[in-house]
Every structure is written in structure tokens, then in C-alpha cells.
Amino acid sequence: MGSLAIHSPMLGYANNWDFIKLSRTVGIWVDEPGVDPLAAHVPAPHSRYRTHGERDRRGRYLSSELVLLVPAIAVGDVVAWIGRLPAHRFDLRILGLFKCAVFSFAGAWLTVLFFRRSIWLGIGSAVIFAVVIADPMNTLYFNTLYFDDSAVLFTWLAVGSALLLLHVDRRPRWLMPAFCVSLFLAALSKMQHPGVALAIVLGFAIGLVRWERPLAARMLRGPLVAAVLALCVGFVNNQSRSLRSMAEAAATDTWFWTVLPALRDPAAVLAEHGIPARCASYVGKSWYHPGMQPPPCPEIFRLSRISAVLVLLREPSALFHLIARGVATSRPFLLPYGHVEGREGGRVDQEGTRFASLAGILDRIDATTFHALWLLIVGGGLIGIALVATGRATPLASLAVLANAVCAATFAASLLGDGLVDFARHVHLGQNAWIVAGAASAAMLVQLAGRAVRQAALFERAFPRRATAGAGDAGRSGRGA
């Protein structure tokens, strides 16, 4: 992580409008000659920024990413003061190093807690950190103003805290408050994630099914309040002026580009919801098609996402079609934006093998194998629910359930919240959960198979004569026949 954060030229994703929301909120702006601070879709990232600039209260957006950005700006001010550098100059690599320190501390903290429970849980925590969390598909966001770092960090902490609460006998008193705070901050990371905390709480509640009812109710009360509160705050936050154009784009892409083309009779559905007949001509177009800006059918913004869910439930074939399209377009795991400063469309994998990504392997596997992995993950989640509900829960089963909950929530929110446009970018958090759920499901199945083999061996030792007699009777029956 450190080698990526301090690399020169800087490595990171280019701006795609998300930077502007944080720029307006805290007054941090790109400081490159000839570069428009309000520009987006640039071909490569920029490292030089200027802090303590103009803020736009009407366009601000409150995200848990500010928990990482604001302290990093303070660190930059201290570095500038000590080094007698020009004031308010900020290199995004300072932000990257600060995030590297925060993620490393979080990984060490979780891993030590799991080691206290079991050496295998500690090793598993360390492997998840090294292979998934520290993968360049995540750390390329370190030197950026995107919101994905806070989404990954706080969701990871929430899932880890939930596992500790479910499977550690001696729980520190501060662990439950840490779980609730992580849930709240995870839900406030991006406009797509207000419901992710509720999904984690659902997985946590499944883990409490076999607990004594008074204790389970007490354990569930705090997380449920935090998740519901985060959902409400996230809904209000998403109504901010800074997100108005993004909300219109998301509604356009969800209805005209994603949901309506999958239906048998989209014109009838529009008429049923009171949308003018002229709007039927825009079915199959996204926000980025010619003639869609300004919106030619603003009436579509009246339709809620609940309406989309109800329409799809009435037509299951359309729902299955959309899910299949979402699975197919959930790759590539690494975004196509420029990664290397000063190189238009430069890729991080051209900078050396130390920046190789697991995402690159998953992007190259064939479609059949990729779909089989999806079946493994979904099947592992269902088996995990069955094990937990019957009182045979293991940490792997609980992890499979929790990771599936995050993956499903992110997948659904991205599919029906933003549509299939840029789907692989919006479902980034789900991609991380997908990898963890796949590993947990595979390890859980191996564990179950090993348990079955051991039980068969014990049965053989306990009843050797009966097994031998059965074989002899079968032999005599065969000779008699």
C-alpha cells in the first residue's frame, strides 16, 4: 500500500465528477496550470491540489470520506509548516499515506482481536487484509477524492466487528459501540450505500437466531437503531443540491436504460404510472445519449425505486434478465479511468509486478467460470444461513452470510439506483464482498467436507463388526443368487 501511495508519478483514478462534491464541501481544488477545477472525465489523475479554498454551502455533500480527508489536510498543513513549504499546497499522496496508515491500523486491530479468539481466525483476518483490502483495486483510490475508501474501510470494520460479537466469548465493552459507529459511517460513504448498514444488521440478526431471546434482542437493539438512523440521514443527504443532476442522471439510467427495456410492454407501464406517451421514445437511452440533456422527460423523476421493484416483481422474467445483465457487467473490477499521472489512459499494471491485482485475474477468467463463482457465492450464503439457523454456525458460515448481505445490497442498490451505466464502478464495494464471500464459501464447504469425512471415520471405528457383517451378508447373497 505504501509503495503505491508514494509512487512517482502519482498512481490513482482520474476525476469523474465525484471530486467536485468534496472540493465544494471542504474547499480543496486541483492546482494544475491550464486545468479547470470544475472539469471531469480527465484522462489521468493530478497530484497537486490547493486547500482552504472557496466552499460552496449549496453544493456540499456530507460523506464519511471527510473522516479521512479533513485530518489528512491538517497533516499536510503541518508538513508544509515544518518544511517551510508554500501554504495551502497539498499533494494527494499525503492523503494516500494517511489512508495507508488508517487502513494498516484497522487491519492490525482486527487481526489481533481475531488472534485472541483463534490462531486460524487471526490468519484469516490477515489474509483478507493482504489479499483483498490492500489490493490495488482498492488502494488506487487512496490518492483520490472518491468516496470508495470510506465505503470499504467502514464496511470492513462493521463486518469484522459483527463476526467478533457473534463468535468471541469475552467481548470488550467498546466493541458494540464500534460496530454501531462503523455501520453508520459505512452507510454515509456514498449515495448508493444508505441501505448497506441495514443489510449487515440483517446478516447479524440471522447470526443471533439461536441465541437466547432477551440477549439477542439486547445485542440487536443498538445496531438496528444505527442502521435505521443511517438510512434516514442518507436519504436526506441524497436530497442535497449538489446531487440534483446526479439524481436525475441516475433516474434516467435506471428507468430508460435499464428497467423499461427489459419489460414486455414499457409503454403500458409508463401509461400506468401517468407518464406522457412521448416519453416512450426515450426507452433504451441513457443520460449520456444525444438529446437526453437537459432531460426531455422530467416526469420520469416522479417515479420511485419502489415502483421499479414492484414492476419487476410482476414480471419475473424481466427481473431475472436484469440480474443476469448485472452479473455480466459487474466486470471489469479495475476502472478504465487513467491510473498514472501524466499518462493519458496509463494503466497501473504497466508500473511493475508489485502492483499486480487479483481483480486483473478475475477480469480475465471466462464467462462460464465467472458465473460458476457467482453460484458458489450465492449457494455458500444459503448454506451459511442454514448452518446459522440450525445452531451449527462457524465463523466461516457467518462471514459468508455477512459478505453475501453486503454484496446483495450493493448489487441491488447499484442496479436499481443508478442502472447499468458504469455499473462496475458503482458496485465496487460489492466486488470486495464478492471476493470475500467466495473465499468464505469455498473454505466453509471444505470444512463441511472434512467434518463429514471425520464423522464417517468415527462411525467406522465405532461399528466395525456391523460394517464387516453387512459386507459378508452381501457377499453370501451374491453367491446364492
Please write the tens of the pLDDT for every residue from 335-373: 878 889 988 888 887 777 678 888 888 888 999 999 999
The secondary structure of residue 50, as a DSSP letter, is: E
Amino acid letter, 122: G
The residue with cell 431471546 is: 213
What is the secondary structure of 142-159 as a DSSP string? Answer: TTS--SHHHHHHHHHHHH
The answer to whether the CB of 221 falls within 8 A of the CB of 201 is no
Per-residue pLDDT tens over the stretch 373-418: 999 999 999 999 999 888 888 999 999 999 999 999 999 999 999 9
> Using 50, 70 and 90 to split pLDDT, how confident is the model at 443?
very high
CA-nearest of 104, 119, 208, 96 to 156 is: 104
Cell of 32: 494544475
Residues in the chain: 481
Distances (CA, A) of 61 to 18, 25, 58, 120, 143: 10, 6, 9, 41, 19
Q: Is the pLDDT of residue 472 over 80?
A: no
Question: Side chain identity at 344, as an amino acid letter?
Answer: E
Average pLDDT over residues 269-287: 93
Confidence of residue 456 (pLDDT cuts 50, 70, 90): confident
All three cell numbers of 245? 443532476
Name the phi and psi angles at 74, rounded to 5: -60, -40
How many angstroms separate the CA atoms of 246 and 475, rounded? 75
**pLDDT confidence band for 283 (50 / 70 / 90):** very high
Where does the pLDDT of residue 460 fall: very low under 50, low under 70, confident under 90, or very high at 90 and above?
A: confident
Residues 99 and 68 sit within 8 Å (Cβ to Cβ) = yes
CB 247 within 8 A of CB 418: no
For 227-360, list the strands marked E by DSSP: none
- The helix/strand count (H/E) of the chain reads as 21, 3
Tell me the mean pLDDT in the region 222-233: 95
pLDDT value of position 475: 52
Residue 126 makes CB contacts below 8 A (sequence gap 6+) with: 107, 111
Evaluate whether 166 touches 393 at the Cβ level (below 8 Å): yes
Q: Give yes or no for residue 221 having a pLDDT over 50.
A: yes
pLDDT for 478 beyond 70? no
Tell me the C-alpha distance between 241 and 60, whole Å: 8
Which amino acid does the sequence have at 190? K
- The pLDDT assigned to 127 comes to 96
Q: Report the chain's mean pLDDT, rounded to a whole number.
A: 90
Peptide bond into 9 cis (omega under 30): yes
Flag whether pLDDT at 16 surpasses 90.
no
Per the listing, cell 496508515 goes with 101
* Count of alpha carbons within 13 angstroms of residue 386, beta-carbon side: 10
Identify the band that residue 459 occupies on the pLDDT scale cut at 50, 70 and 90: confident
184 — pLDDT class (breaks 50, 70, 90): very high
- Report the 10 Å Cβ neighbour count for 356: 13
The domain limits of the chain are 2-240, 243-306
- Burial code of 281-320, b = ≥16 C-beta within 10 A, e = fewer? ebbebbbeeeebeebebeebeebebeebeebbeeeeebbe
Q: Tell me: the pLDDT tens digits for 191-205?
A: 889 999 999 999 999
pTM above 0.75, yes or no: yes
> Looking at residues 149-170, what average pLDDT do you find?
94
For residue 480, pLDDT beyond 50: no
What mean pLDDT do residues 221-227 have?
95
Q: What is the dihedral of CA 80, 84, 86, 91, to 10 degrees?
A: -30
Q: What is the pLDDT of residues 27-75, one digit of tens each?
A: 999 998 888 888 877 888 999 999 998 888 777 788 999 999 999 999 9
Q: Which amino acid is at 38?
A: L
Half-sphere exposure of 208 (CA within 13 A, CB side): 21
As a whole number of angstroms, the distance between CA 94 and CA 428 comes to 24
Local confidence band at 473 (pLDDT 50, 70, 90 cut-offs): low
